[in-house]
C-alpha cells in the first residue's frame, strides 16, 4: 500500500466517523515555542489551551500534519526509524469523546480489512501500553477491544505521560505497537525490546492541568481539566514500513528512490557497509526535509530556520561526496524526492522550479566553502607537522566546523590522509558547549503563548463584524474593555484601554497592512485609536487612549476611521500587488512573495529569490508598476471558495492559513490576482506614482523591495529632482551630465587618496629601521612590540610584513597596535624560525585581543585583529611577552 493511499484511508476513516478534515498547516507557524511544527496537535493548541473554542462540527477533527524535528541531526541515519521530516496523522476530540472513543477508532482503522477501508493488520501482532495507574484505559483495551492482558503493558511517566512542556493540558497516553517478529529482536513486548515492537500510534488522553517545572518528566498536576480532550498521532512512515513489508522507513516508497538515485551518482551500493548506509540514509532524509522546508518558504541562512535548512543541505552534499560523488548532486536528489512526494503534496508541482533554484544555489555556495575550507585545513596541517606534532587540535577542528561550515567528518578524512589525528575529545567538548548554549537559548525563548484567555468570552460569543470595506464610519456597541490585561467595566480619561466592538469599520492589522487609526466618539467621550489588532481571527481589538470623558460597557459609540490614514494605506497595499505582478513579469514565477508591510505612503515587499537584481531589472519593475497605475485598471474583489480561487490562479502567501471562503483581489486580469483580505483603491490610477527606492538582501535566498506610493512618492521624486538640480548648478553642468561629471571627480579623488596612502606607507617604511632599535630579547626570541597611534589596520600589516622580512634570519616576533578613533587594530607577525619553535601569530593575536576587547585570526606567520579598549594595549603587550618567554 503506497504512502498516499495510507494517508487517504486515514482521512476517509475519520471523516466517515464525523470528523472535520483539516488540511496540514505550514511547517512555519507563529508560535513562540517552536522553530517548526513538530507534532500533529500544534495547529490545535489554541483549542487545547482553552484560548478558543474549536470551530469543528461535533467537536472533532482529523488531519495529516507535516512535521519537522531537528534536535539531534547528527543521529539521523544511525537509527532506521527516525526522520527529521515526518507525517503525523491524528484525530482530535474536544470534549466529544474520550478514552473509549479514541481506542475504538484507532483499533478499527488498524485491523479492519483492506476492502472495508482499514489497514488490515493482524490483531495478534498488536501490543499496547498504558500509563502505570491508568486502569480505565487498560480495562477498555482488555474488555472492550479484546486485547489479552499479557499484551497490555504499563509504563512510567517518561514513556506514557504527555504534556506540551509548559504549564497547560497534560495526561496519560496509550501507545500501540506492532510486533515485527522474532527476527527483529527479543520476545516480551515493547517493555523488553522496542526494536522488534514498533510504535505506530500514540493516543493522548488530556484530562489534567500541569503546573510549572524545570523537569521534563516531573511536574505538579494541578487538577482535572473542565473538558477532557483527545489528541492522537499515527506515524504515517512507520505504518508504511509495515504495509509495504520493508525493514525501515528509508526503504518505503517515499525514500527508497532517493537512495537508488544516490547509488547511481556515487557508484556505491546501499547495504555494502554500515557507515555507507548511514550516509545514504542522511541523503534521503535531508533531501526530503530540505525540499519540504523550501516548499514552505524557508531559505538557507546563518540563523534560525535558515541555518537548519543550510545544515541539512550541506550534510546531504557532504554525505554524497563521502560516498564517492564528485560533481553536483543536489538536483538529482531534490528532483527525485519531489517526484515521490507529489502524490501527497500536489502543490510541489507549482513550486518545483523555485525549490530547485534555492537548493542549487546553496550547493554552489557550499562547494566554494569546501574549497576555502580545504585551504585552511592544509595550512593547519602544515603548522602541526612543522611543530613536530601529529594531532590537529580540537579547537581548530571545531573552528573549521562552526565558523567556516567545514564538516568534521571531512576534517577527519583529510587528517588521516595527511597522517594526522584530530583531538576529538576537545572537539566533542566544544560541540557540547555549543549544544548547551543552544539549549539554554531555546529554554530562555520557550515560554507559554500570550495569555488570550481574557478575550475568550468575546471570541466565543461575539465575533466582530468588519464593515470597513464599504464604510469608514459606523455606530457600534462596546462589548468589552481590557486594561492592563484584565477585563474592566469602564475606563476614565487618560486611560489606555482595548475596546471590543460588535461592529467596526477599522481594519485590523493583517496580511502586511497595518491596522487603521481613528476615533471612537460618544457625546463628550473621545477615544483616539492608535492600532487595531485581531484576536482569534474573530474579534477586532481597538487599542485606544481615552482623551475625554469615559467609556463604559454597553455604550454606543461612533467608530470613525482616519480617512487620510486609510487612503494612504489603500494606496500602499494596492501598490504592493502591482509590484508583485511586475516582479513576476521580470523574474518569472519563481520569485514568490515571502512577506510584506505597507502603511500610508510606504511599502516593502519580500520575495524568495537567490540573486541580486540588476539596476535594469529594478528599473523595469518600476516602469511596469507605474504603467499599471497609468492604465487605470479596475481593482476587483471576488468572494469565493479557496478551491475556486486556486483554480483562478490566485497566489497565496507562504505560511498563511486560509479559510474555505476567501477574498480574491484582481487587478488587470492575469497581471495580478491574489488572495487578500486587505483594503484597496477602486482603480489603479488612484495609487498615484510609485517610487521604487531599491532592493536589498534580507537573508540567503530572500530579497526586499522598498517603495513609496502616492503623495510620498511625489515628495520623494520632488526632493530627488531638487537635489539633482542643486548639484547641476554647483557643478555648472546640465542634469543629464551629472553621472559623467561625478564619475570623473570620483576617479580623481580615488587617485589622490591612493597617492596619499602610498606616501604615508613610504614614510612608515622609512621609520622601520628606527623601530627595530626598540626590539628586546626574550629568551632566544627577538620581540618587537610598538604602539603606532593613528595608523590604520592595512598600514600596520604593511609595516609588520616589512619588519618580518628584515628579521627573516632570526627567531623574531613583531606585535604592532594602534589607536584609530578609539578602535584598536593590531597585527602579529612571526618569522619562520619562530613558527618552527611553536610560536604562532594566530595564538598571540587571540591572546592580545583578550586585553583590548577584541578578537582576530590568521596564519601562523601573520595574523591581525581589532578591539575597542585602548587602555588594555600595554597589558596585552605584557601577556604576549610572558607567552613568548615560556615558548
Contacts 24+ apart (CB under 8 A), 486-490: 486/454, 487/454, 487/457, 489/552, 489/553, 490/550, 490/551, 490/552, 490/553
With 0-12 / 13-18 / 19 or more C-beta atoms within 10 angstroms meaning exposed / middle / buried, residue 120 is middle
Instruction: Pull the grid cell for residue 585.
Output: 513579469
Q: How many CB atoms lie within 10 A of CB 31?
A: 14
d(CA 862, CA 854): 17
Three-state DSSP at 484 gives: coil
d(CA 760, CA 753): 10
Pair 39, 233: CB distance under 8 Å? yes
Cα 841 to chain center, whole Å? 38
Q: Quick one: CA dihedral 501, 503, 506, 507, positive or negative? A: positive
Give me the DSSP letters along 179-207. E--GGGS-SS-TTT-TTTEEEEEEEEEEE
d(CA 79, CA 724): 66
Distances (CA, A) of 746 to 609, 615, 739, 743: 33, 20, 10, 5
Residue among 254, 193, 202 nearest 230 (CA): 202
Pair 126, 22: CB distance under 8 Å? no
Three-state DSSP at 533 gives: strand
The Cβ-side half-sphere exposure at 46, using a 13 Å CA radius, reads 19
Pair 161, 204: CB distance under 8 Å? no
d(CA 600, CA 713): 11
Q: Give binding residues as ranges.
A: 573, 577, 676, 680
Alpha helices (runs of H) in 731-840, residue ranges in sequence order:
738-766, 768-772, 793-806, 832-836
Classify strands 161-163 and 85-94 as parallel, antiparallel or unpaired. Answer: unpaired
Q: Please, which residues have CB within 8 angstroms of residue 147's CB and are 6 or more apart in sequence? A: 123, 126, 128, 141
d(CA 63, CA 14): 9
Residue 170 DSSP class: E
Phi, psi at residue 27, to the nearest 5°? Answer: -65, -15
Alpha helices (runs of H) in 197-327, residue ranges in sequence order:
236-244, 256-266, 274-295, 304-322
Pair 212, 167: CB distance under 8 Å? yes
Pair 423, 393: CB distance under 8 Å? yes
Q: Give binding residues for Zn(2+) as ranges.
A: 573, 577, 676, 680
Amino acid at each position: 500500500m503506497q504512502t498516499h493511499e495510507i494517508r487517504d484511508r486515514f482521512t476517509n476513516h475519520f471523516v466517515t466517523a464525523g470528523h472535520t478534515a483539516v488540511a496540514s498547516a505550514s511547517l512555519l507557524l507563529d508560535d513562540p515555542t517552536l522553530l517548526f511544527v513538530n507534532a500533529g496537535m500544534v495547529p490545535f493548541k489554541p483549542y487545547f489551551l482553552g484560548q478558543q473554542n474549536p470551530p469543528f462540527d461535533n467537536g472533532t477533527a482529523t488531519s495529516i500534519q507535516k512535521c519537522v524535528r531537528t534536535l539531534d541531526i547528527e543521529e539521523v541515519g544511525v537509527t532506521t526509524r527516525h526522520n527529521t521530516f515526518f507525517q503525523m496523522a491524528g484525530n482530535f476530540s474536544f470534549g466529544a469523546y474520550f478514552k473509549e472513543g479514541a481506542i475504538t477508532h484507532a483499533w478499527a482503522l488498524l485491523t479492519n480489512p483492506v476492502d472495508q477501508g482499514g489497514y488490515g493488520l493482524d490483531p495478534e501482532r498488536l501490543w499496547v501500553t498504558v500509563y502505570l495507574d491508568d486502569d480505565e484505559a487498560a480495562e477498555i483495551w482488555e474488555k472492550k477491544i479484546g486485547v489479552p492482558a499479557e499484551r497490555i503493558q504499563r509504563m512510567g511517566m517518561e514513556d506514557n505521560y504527555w504534556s506540551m512542556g509548559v504549564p497547560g493540558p497534560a495526561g496519560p497516553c496509550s501507545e500501540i505497537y506492532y510486533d515485527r517478529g522474532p527476527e527483529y529482536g527479543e520476545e516480551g513486548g515493547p517493555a523488553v525490546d522496542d526494536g522488534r515492537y514498533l510504535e505506530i500510534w500514540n493516543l493522548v488522553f488530556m484530562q489534567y492541568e500541569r503546573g510549572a517545572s524545570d523537569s521534563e518528566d516531573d511536574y505538579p498536576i494541578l487538577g482535572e481539566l473542565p473538558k477532557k480532550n483527545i489528541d492522537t498521532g499515527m506515524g504515517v512512515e512507520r505504518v508504511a514500513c509495515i504495509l509495504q513489508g520493508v525493514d525501515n522507513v528509508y526503504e518505503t516508497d517515499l525514500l527508497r528512490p532517493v537512495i537508488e538515485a544516490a547509488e547511481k551518482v556515487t557508484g556505491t551500493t546501499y547495504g555494502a557497509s554500515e557507515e555507507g548506509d548511514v550516509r545514504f540514509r542522511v541523503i534521503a532524509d535531508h533531501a526530503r526535509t530540505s525540499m519540504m522546508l523550501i516548499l514552505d518558504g524557508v531559505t538557507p541562512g546563518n540563523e534560525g530556520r535558515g541555518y537548519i535548512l543550510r545544515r541539512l543541505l550541506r550534510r546531504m552534499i557532504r554525505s554524497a561526496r563521502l560516498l564517492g560523488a564528485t560533481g553536483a548532486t543536489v538536483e538529482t536528489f531534490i528532483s527525485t524526492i519531489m517526484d515521490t512526494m507529489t502524490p501527497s503534496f500536489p502543490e510541489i508541482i507549482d513550486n518545483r522550479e523555485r525549490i530547485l533554484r534555492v537548493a542549487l544555489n546553496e550547493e554552489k555556495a557550499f562547494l566554494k566553502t569546501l574549497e576555502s575550507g580545504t585551504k585552511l585545513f592544509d595550512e593547519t596541517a602544515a603548522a602541526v607537522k612543522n611543530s613536530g606534532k601529529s594531532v590537529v587540535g580540537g579547537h581548530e577542528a571545531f573552528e573549521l566546523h562552526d565558523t567556516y561550515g567545514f564538516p568534521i567528518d571531512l576534517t577527519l578524512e583529510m587528517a588521516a590522509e595527511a597522517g594526522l589525528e584530530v583531538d576529538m575529545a576537545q572537539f566533542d567538548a566544544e560541540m557540547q558547549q555549543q549544544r548547551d548554549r543552544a539549549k539554554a537559548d531555546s529554554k530562555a525563548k520557550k515560554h507559554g503563548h500570550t495569555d488570550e484567555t481574557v478575550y475568550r468570552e468575546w471570541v466565543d460569543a461575539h465575533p466582530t463584524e468588519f464593515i470597513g470595506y464599504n464604510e469608514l464610519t459606523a455606530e457600534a456597541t462596546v462589548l468589552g474593555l481590557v486594561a492592563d490585561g484584565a477585563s474592566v467595566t469602564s475606563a476614565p480619561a487618560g486611560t489606555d484601554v482595548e475596546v471590543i466592538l460588535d461592529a467596526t469599520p477599522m481594519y485590523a492589522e493583517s496580511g502586511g497592512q497595518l491596522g487603521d487609526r481613528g476615533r471612537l466618539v460618544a457625546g463628550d467621550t473621545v477615544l483616539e485609536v492608535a492600532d487595531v489588532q485581531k484576536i482569534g481571527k474573530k474579534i477586532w481589538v481597538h487599542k485606544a487612549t481615552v482623551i475625554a470623558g469615559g467609556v463604559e460597557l454597553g455604550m454606543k459609540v461612533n467608530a470613525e476611521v482616519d480617512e487620510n490614514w486609510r487612503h494612504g494605506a489603500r494606496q500602499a497595499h494596492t501598490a504592493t500587488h502591482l509590484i508583485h505582478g511586475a516582479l513576476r513579469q521580470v523574474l518569472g514565477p519563481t520569485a514568490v512573495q515571502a512577506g510584506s508591510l505597507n502603511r500610508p505612503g510606504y511599502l516593502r515587499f519580500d520575495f524568495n529569490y537567490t540573486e541580486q537584481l540588476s539596476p535594469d531589472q529594478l528599473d523595469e519593475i518600476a516602469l511596469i508598476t507605474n504603467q499599471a497605475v497609468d492604465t487605470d485598471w479596475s481593482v476587483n474583489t471576488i468572494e469565493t471558495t479557496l478551491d475556486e480561487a486556486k483554480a483562478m490562479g490566485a497566489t497565496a502567501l507562504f505560511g498563511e492559513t486560509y479559510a474555505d471562503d476567501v477574498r480574491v483581489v484582481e487587478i488587470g486580469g492575469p497581471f495580478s490576482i491574489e488572495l487578500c483580505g486587505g483594503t484597496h483603491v477602486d482603480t489603479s490610477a488612484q495609487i498615484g506614482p510609485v517610487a521604487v527606492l531599491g532592493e536589498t538582501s534580507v537573508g540567503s535566498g530572500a530579497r526586499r523591495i522598498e517603495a513609496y506610493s502616492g503623495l510620498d512618492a511625489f515628495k520623494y521624486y520632488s526632493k530627488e529632482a531638487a537635489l539633482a538640480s542643486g548639484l547641476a548648478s554647483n557643478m555648472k553642468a546640465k542634469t543629464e551630465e551629472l553621472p559623467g561629471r561625478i564619475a570623473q571627480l570620483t576617479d580623481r579623488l580615488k587617485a589622490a587618496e591612493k597617492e596619499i596612502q602610498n606616501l604615508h606607507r613610504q614614510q612608515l617604511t622609512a621609520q622601520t629601521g628606527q623601530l627595530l632599535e626598540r626590539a628586546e630579547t626574550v629568551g632566544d626570541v627577538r620581540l618587537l612590540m610598538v604602539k603606532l597611534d593613528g595608523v590604520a589596520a592595512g598600514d600596520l600589516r604593511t609595516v609588520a610584513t616589512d619588519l618580518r622580512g628584515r628579521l627573516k634570519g632570526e627567531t623574531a616576533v613583531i606585535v604592532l597596535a594602534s589607536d584609530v578613533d578609539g578602535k584598536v587594530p593590531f597585527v602579529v607577525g612571526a618569522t619562520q624560525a619562530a613558527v618552527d619553535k611553536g610560536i604562532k601569530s594566530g595564538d598571540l593575536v587571540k591572546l592580545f585581543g583578550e586585553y583590548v576587547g577584541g578578537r582576530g585570526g590568521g596564519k601562523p606567520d601573520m595574523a591581525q585583529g581589532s578591539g575597542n579598549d585602548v587602555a588594555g594595549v600595554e597589558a596585552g603587550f605584557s601577556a604576549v611577552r610572558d607567552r613568548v618567554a615560556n615558548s
